[in-house]
Structure 1
Amino acid sequence: LLGFLNEKGIGAPLSPEHAFQIYLTAAQNGDIYGQSLVGQCYQLGQGTPQNIYQAIQWLHKAAKAGLPNAQYLLAFCFFDPQNEFQSYGYAFSFLEQAAKRGKREAQNWLGFFYLQGLGTKQRLKLSHYWFMKSALAGDRDGQLGLARFYRIILRDNRTSFSWLVRAAQGNNPNAHFFLGTYYYYGRGTVRNLRKAFYWISKAISASGQQRQKDKQQCQDYRDGLYLRSSALEFLGMSYERGQQAPRDVHKAVMIYRRAIAASGGVEGHRSMLNLCRIFRNDWY
């Protein structure tokens, strides 16, 4: 507790290094929470240089003792494709342990692993089960994952929309974005451009704070590109024409550029034409 308060600057100067030393002392004395925190510090490079090997060693001690958060963090040490210890099998195993102990974030990711067949066979019923368990526990990413499961696997837009509405109640730019596209296309609900503009704008303004947190989550790649570029194009046109929002050509240009980048050059041709029109008419 003292280390956590010190790290957060509560009652003491902010010092991740000092907090790490307190965690380490507790960990060396067999405290499983200290072991988990030391592992997390090594994993993230907080208060000490990043060291994935040491992170795995300390997290494994706490995970073996049954600490769900340590099991969850350990899974991501093995999931990260950028480190030499990557193993979908180990990642799946520790996610499953954490999920069964009630870690709702792990339940969401376990649903994703079953959906994609990572470290296990693809099992859609189990994928749905764990997404649902996470969603009902209130995890916003789990609600988003479940919404996309209903959309892509079960082709049930109405149920998908209802879960997106719940997911969007949290600060999740991805949920905001997809809810905006549902309103834009009238998917699972009545088409409403004003609401589409509101939710897509909310997602765009928050996207700098969260870089596609669910980048690997279940989605059809081409459909995802089309949704993003088309919805961004709609947002750009709203600003360019002064529809659903005050006219702002500068903002429209920035959003059109994002639409082109989001399309990967596949579906962004209309945004490219919109940009050309703006520059040709000297609007910008």
Structure 2
Amino acid sequence: MKIKLKQGKWQVVVACLILLGGCQDDQKAVAQPKPASISNKSEKVKQDERLEYERCLKAAESGDAVEQNNLGVMYANGAGVKKDQVKAVKWYRKAAEQGHALAQYNLGVMYDTGKGVKQDHKQAVEWFHKAAEQGYALAQYYLGVMYATGEGVKQDYKQAVKWYRKAAEQGYADAQYNLGVMYDTGKGVKQDHKQAVEWFRKAAEQGDALALNYLGVMYDTGEGVKQDYKQAMEFYRKAAELGNALAQYNLGVMYDTGEGVKQDYKQAMEWYRKSAEQGSADAQYNLGVMYVTGKGVKQDSKQAVEWFRKAAEQGKAVAQFYLGVMYHNGQGVKQDLDQAEVWYRKAARQGHELAKGMLKVLGESP
């Protein structure tokens, strides 16, 4: 099965974003921070961090909200002081209660992830809301995610759209992408593929790989824009080169089918493999097909079985069926009718008609 894939980021779970940077800079945020190990830091750097921590502590204890938030960051990341998530929460809270938007956001993250405090999605929503109402784009975006996923609040796509839009209008790429998904799927807003394309384009211009892939899908299918396979190829390639597994798969399909580019099975194999190695069940299945048919690669039934198995174990019905076929025929694996039945049955339970038929051939009921 060779289909183009598009997925909505609104489905993702909120990621942990903690503010990083110097103690005096409270305007920079990055996702999933990976602070340098203290043991790898030079003595000079450690000394400077310690002095900065002491300065921040003094200012924070005097009631400075900015420095209270920054002190929380230092505790959260172990900069200048031993990492302590509980103390990070303590200082974020002090700043948040003074109305500091970034601290309110950071406190929301701690509640959402359960770091330094008992996990509480409702509390996370409350603090994200406070920061969002002050115009903080990251908080607006994550508040949208909470409404879209129904974590800590009743699921409400209209509210999700509202907050995504606020963050998107501030130029936040993830929000622009999610808003595009909402327009494309008609969740929380009237379905409008042209609006979806507009928001995907804004995010894509910032290098968002998911948006680049989705924009490729829109050009590929002609939704919201005139169908143009060459444009689709261009966007798929950009996203694929950024490492996006969906785009790598889609680019493989284009080479496989010869849409928007000269048919090239070797190139198809290359991109399917990149996607498959990232865990894409669709790419794993297609890679198995290429090994069975010998397109773009030397025919190798053992390799086909390996890739069908990877996809099958992720629940892909057609891969389960073909893995059953390989066991049934003893192709690439020792013939084993019991194993064939096992995989046919898994596929049949998902409604795969050919698998149901093969169970009957084996004398088993679907």
Is this a same-fold pair by TM over 0.5?
Answer: yes
Moved more, 134-143 or 24-33: 24-33
Q: Does residue 1:265 correspond to 2:317, yes or no?
A: yes
Q: Does the 8 Å CA contact 1:144/1:167 hold for their aligned counterparts? A: yes
Cα offset, 1:195, TM superposition: 1.9
Q: Does the 8 Å CA contact 1:182/1:196 hold for their aligned counterparts? A: yes
Q: Does the 8 Å CA contact 1:256/1:272 hold for their aligned counterparts? A: no
Matches within 5 A, 1:215-226: none
Q: Does residue 1:197 correspond to 2:269, yes or no?
A: yes
Q: Does residue 1:170 correspond to 2:247, yes or no?
A: no
Instruction: Tell me the equivalent position of 1:114.
Output: 183
Q: Does the 8 Å CA contact 2:264/2:296 hold for their aligned counterparts? A: no
Aligned residue for 2:105, secondary structure, equals: helix
Instruction: Tell me the equivalent position of 2:209.
Output: 140
- Match among 89, 95, 98 for residue 167 of structure 2: 98
**Aligned equivalents of 1:165 and 1:151: distance in 2?**
13
Q: Does residue 1:179 correspond to 2:251, yes or no?
A: yes
Aligned-residue Cα RMSD (Å) equals 3.0
Q: Does residue 1:41 correspond to 2:96, yes or no?
A: no
- Match among 278, 301, 305 for residue 206 of structure 1: 278
**Aligned equivalents of 2:121 and 2:247: distance in 1?**
31
Instruction: Tell me the equivalent position of 1:255.
Output: 307
Q: Does the 8 Å CA contact 2:215/2:232 hold for their aligned counterparts? A: yes
Post-superposition CA distance 1:56-94 (Å, at most 9, x none): 111111111101100000001100046552101110100
**Aligned equivalents of 2:328 and 2:84: distance in 1?**
51
Aligned residue for 2:241, secondary structure, equals: coil
- Match among 219, 225, 231 for residue 159 of structure 1: 231
Q: Does the 8 Å CA contact 1:256/1:275 hold for their aligned counterparts? A: no
Cα offset, 1:252, TM superposition: 3.3
Aligned residue for 2:154, secondary structure, equals: coil
Q: Does the 8 Å CA contact 2:182/2:188 hold for their aligned counterparts? A: yes
Unpaired segments ≥5 residues, structure 2: 1-69, 337-366
Post-superposition CA distance 1:228-259 (Å, at most 9, x none): 65x53441255568876688766532311244
Aligned length: 264
Q: Does the 8 Å CA contact 2:123/2:152 hold for their aligned counterparts? A: no
- Higher relative CO (Cα under 8 Å, sequence separation at least 6) belongs to 2
**Aligned equivalents of 1:266 and 1:246: distance in 2?**
22
Cα offset, 1:261, TM superposition: 6.0
Q: Does residue 1:20 correspond to 2:89, yes or no?
A: yes
**Aligned equivalents of 1:106 and 1:44: distance in 2?**
20
Instruction: Tell me the equivalent position of 2:126.
Output: 57
Q: Does the 8 Å CA contact 2:328/2:335 hold for their aligned counterparts? A: no
**Aligned equivalents of 1:15 and 1:250: distance in 2?**
51
Amino acid at match of 2:191: Q
**Aligned equivalents of 2:191 and 2:174: distance in 1?**
20
Instruction: Tell me the equivalent position of 2:42.
Output: none
- Look at both structures and tell me which one has the larger radius of gyration over its CA atoms: 2
Cα offset, 1:4, TM superposition: 3.0
Instruction: Tell me the equivalent position of 1:224.
Output: none
Q: Does the 8 Å CA contact 2:104/2:128 hold for their aligned counterparts? A: yes
**Aligned equivalents of 1:160 and 1:34: distance in 2?**
41
Instruction: Tell me the equivalent position of 2:99.
Output: 30
Moved more, 124-133 or 95-104: 124-133
Aligned residue for 2:138, secondary structure, equals: helix
Unpaired segments ≥5 residues, structure 1: 213-227
Instruction: Tell me the equivalent position of 1:215.
Output: none
Question: CA 1:248/1:40 → structure 2, altered by over 3 Å: closer, same or farther?
Answer: farther
Cα offset, 1:163, TM superposition: 0.5
User: Taking structure 2 as the reference length, what is the TM-score of the superposition?
Assistant: 0.63
User: Taking structure 1 as the reference length, what is the TM-score of the superposition?
Assistant: 0.80
**Aligned equivalents of 1:12 and 1:246: distance in 2?**
57
Amino acid at match of 2:86: E
Q: Does the 8 Å CA contact 2:327/2:333 hold for their aligned counterparts? A: no
Instruction: Tell me the equivalent position of 1:70.
Output: 139
**Aligned equivalents of 2:186 and 2:293: distance in 1?**
46
**Aligned equivalents of 1:142 and 1:94: distance in 2?**
18
Q: Does the 8 Å CA contact 1:40/1:73 hold for their aligned counterparts? A: no
